[in-house]
Amino acid sequence: MALRWENYPEIADALNEAYPDQPLLDLSDEELIKLVTSLPDFADTPVPEDERAITAVWNRWVAIAYPDDNDAAV
């Protein structure tokens, strides 16, 4: 399946699999965009039309990468 910016849950899963040791808390938007566009299944514009897509990808990736921290926030 080709990944597009609106597929943020699938993008986050792919990022977590491809970069499991990536520190996320200091990751800039530009760095995140580079990681997303480097995914082999990514087939969309280099920069999303809606900047909320970047935040959605990052939030989902954090939720996957740090599941214990999410339980405390609920």
What's the CATH number where 64 sits?
A: 1.10.10
Q: What is the residue type of 34?
A: K
Asked, for residue 62, whether it belongs to a domain, the answer is: yes
Task: Output the pTM of the full model.
Answer: 0.88
pLDDT tens digits, 10-55: 999 999 999 999 999 999 999 999 999 999 999 999 999 999 999 9
Domain containing 27 equals 8-73
How does DSSP assign 45-71, residue by residue? -SS-SSTHHHHHHHHHHHHHH-HHHHH
In a domain, 1, yes or no: no
Task: Return the pLDDT at 72.
Answer: 46
Task: Classify residue 29 by its DSSP letter.
Answer: H
Q: What is the number of domains present in the chain?
A: 1
Q: How confident is the model at residue 71 (pLDDT cuts 50, 70, 90)?
A: low
Distance between CA 53 and CA 46 in Å, rounded? Answer: 12
Structure token digits, residue 27? 């990751």
Residue 24 inside a domain? The answer is yes
Residue 16, burial from CB neighbour count under 10 angstroms (0-12, 13-18, 19+): middle
What pLDDT does 70 receive?
62
